[in-house]
Structure 1
Amino acid sequence: MAIKKRPVSPRQRMINLMYVVLMAMLALNVSNEVLNGFSIVEESLNRTTGNSAKENLAIYKTFEQQLKANPQKTREWYGKAQQVRQMSDSLYNFAASLKQAIVVEADGKDGDVTNIRNKEDQEPANYVMLSPTNGQGQKLYKAINSFRERMLTMVTDEKQRQIIASNLTTQVPKRAMGKNWAEYMFESMPAAAAVTLLSKLQSDVRYAEGEVLHTLVQNIDVKDVRVNLLDAFVIPNSKTIVRGDRFSARIVMAAVDTTQVPDIFIGGQKVNLQNGLYETVCGKTGDFTLKGYMEMVNGNGDRIRREFTQDYTVVEPSATVSADLMNMLYAGYANPISISVPGVPLNKIQASMTNGTLQSVGPGKYIARPAKIGQNAVITVTSTNTGHAQQMGQYTFRVRKLPDPTPYISMKDEHGNPARYKGGALSKGQLVAVEHLGAAIDDGILDIAFRVQSFETVFFDNMGNAVPMASDGAQFSARQKDTFRKLARNRRFYISRVTVTGPDGLTRTLTNPMEVIVK
């Protein structure tokens, strides 16, 4: 594990090591292209957030200038602007600290948020955000809710309120399998994806901050602000677009008289935009720039021109498919599968599978039942988020037979808790009380039960001759139990030739005997 909490036994260390290996194998199902895609999105978000921060800083400077020029008129709105700055910086810095904590968990103390080495590691986000002792997920949830509600009290335009509320929502889908917001967002999330989610939050914080500042500025004196802050801005609805989806942005002149409509030029050509909404279909992936200029006439009759530019990124369609319990699928067994697509609601995702059936059991949750051993199962994921079906990726899983289980005897430990005895020393009182033999794949993570059909016990008489005795199905026979009562201390016998049937319908005979030593 990433954190050493307290000394543990050698057995527990082995279980922990097996879990780490399993999670590492799980991560192999997330393609490098998808993980690298998160890095592209992260860079784009950081650029956009930086541009928003610069725009907001310009407004704060204008507040300072207005306060010096006319303190009586500006003081009230300047004070509110400083409250907005404090709240925005607080949530922004909290998200930044969580990103750094996740990267440190993934890569160590020298971890760099801009260059994550273990992008696929799912443990850091779980530990930082969902740890029972010091998880930050619930704290972040409350901070977002508090910030959103306070920002909405300062904005009067209904459309602006809807955008801010939507960007900073903490609601989870109705069929979220009982998960809270933090679990829904960060459970089993690769480190790269978790950092990108927090970067998106930082971008939304700066956007909400800018919207509120523009509202506060209008309350000072529109004419003064019009002179000092006359500029062109592009406000995109989304800054990262899946290829084939639509890029939407509002192009506006900041702090202008709303009765005047500026002329907008893109690529040297004048365009007529309804309500300033610009849209174009994104057919290629990569980084792009929306560039142009706006012209309008000021109060003196002079024609003013302002340039505008906005960078955005178009990424390939991508999806994440991970086996919840293992890195492969087992034939004839109900394999739990999680499927998600970044930026797409779970109810807009569909999936199908070859070599078997794929059954939906909840939002993003499926049960895969492969049919043939040795033949790969291919899961195809599609999205209907844009109104039409779009393939987001195909993922191949190997299909194997369930491994052999381990036989055990059900009993209770010294505290009265259920326990599974799998060999070694056993008191005679416990031995006499046993009723039947069980079998399961039980490695501390998986627990897949098998049905015992028969077995035999092998005792040794005083001459050293083996005396086999057959069971009564899964039950110990009366003869076997009678022999248990006659065994002296330190005598041993073996349980062997255990025949079991698994959930895949296959019957097999286990080769490794269980040794029992009477103490």
Structure 2
Amino acid sequence: MAGGKLSPRQKMINLMYLVFIAMLAMNMSKEVLSAFGLMNEKLTEANSKATEKNTAGYETLAQKAAEQAKQYGEAKEKTDKLRVAADELYAYVGDLKSQMTNGLKDAKAYESMDKSKFLDELFFKGGKISAAGKEFVAKIEGFRDQAAQLLEGTEVADVVTTRFGTGAVTNKDGKKIDWLKYNYEGFPLIASLTKFTQIQADVKATESDALSALLQGELSKAVSMTNYQAMVVFEKNAYYPGEKLSGKIVLGRNDPNLTAEKVIVNDKEIESDKIQAGQVILDGPAGSVGDKELKGEFQFKEGDSLVSIPIVGGYSVIPKPNQAVISADKMNVVYRGLANPITISMPGVPANKVTASAAGLRRVKGDSYMMRPGKGNEVSIVVNGKLPDGKGVRSVKKFRIKDIPPAVGMVRGQYGTVKMPKASVARISVAAGLPDFLFDLKLNVSSFKIKVPGQVTVPVNGRTLTARAKQALGRARRNDVITIYDIKASVSGSNYKIRKVLPVNIEITN
């Protein structure tokens, strides 16, 4: 403004200009404070969304680690440690923010948050950094160092070091200023509050970067071509001289971290120590002469369900064929009234090139047959096979036909002489069994007779005592032996009746 002697009117005008300029400055300051407040709101909202996203990432990694511990276990262990450190720093900064806004009537009155008193008194004492200020810096540096160590070897480690840097800052005048003073001394409350929210945002970003880097790293290793190897697969594992080879060479995964939840081959679960390096070790016996099938499945856990990968293969155990190889699963005897399993194969000849015939014989599948013999004491099985060179082979094998041996009467699962109180006898259920028979058969009892000493024999239809039988039982005395005989029984699921069932005795104990 112009100097010299001024009139009262000019002085008034000059004063009005000063007031006007001050008002402009005040309005500008309020706009800046409001802008910081709006930025703080946006960051707070973004932090909430980042928390949800990171939580989902942790859950995904945990699930993959549960499914494939060898491949994802280390990544989960690292992120679990990072998560604890991140939560600790996030909560610590959040507590400072709560202290800063404690006592404010309106947490969104940003234009009134223009004072720097709170942090000036908390972080700085007599021009020096206070214990609280040193603690604040130490918390940030502690998180930074731990995160960088956990993420060592990834690009994220360098990003974290820069993101949470606390080194001295060079101002526009070229002077180095302590990081804490440069960022927080003399700043309005809302500006410092927004910076704290930004630190929390950096924590969430570090968690997200770590999850992406570690998970992506494992996925990249999993699909690497170094995990593949060439495998030779023949259509069969045995050939005659002059035959043409038939097979293929394929690429297969051989990943030491890939292990199945379960592997089943030919209805038998493979031992866990045989499932390794993305493969299954087969070291069992080759078996008897004939074509052998390998059928089963790999089971992998994927999400909440199991994924099944079928196993189909086979091999041959052969000498030079000159006769059929026939083995009865229950010795060289077949039993009348039963479905007897028979295995019929011919060395070096596929099952579909082998035919077998006999009375009561039928093919179930492949080299598995079932025989229900009829009358007579002997049956002959005639086997014809066609070799790869077109020549035929014929063989005959005889089997004896036998009736099912005598069964034994049973009560309470026992046979012979069974001791029990008289009161218990009234509740018995009569059964029949074949304790030493090769087949596991269930027999149904349709009737029996019961003889109590001094009483008339009572016939019973069914398996339990009738009223008349119980009446005769009521006259039995201690040490009396009750005989249950003439037991009629048949094989469950068929009409075959057991020719003879031995009696069972019950000795009354009281």
Q: What TM-score do you get using the length of structure 2 for normalisation? A: 0.36
Q: Quick check: which has more Rg, 1 or 2? A: 2
Higher relative contact order (CA 8 A, sep 6+): 1
Q: What TM-score do you get using the length of structure 1 for normalisation? A: 0.36
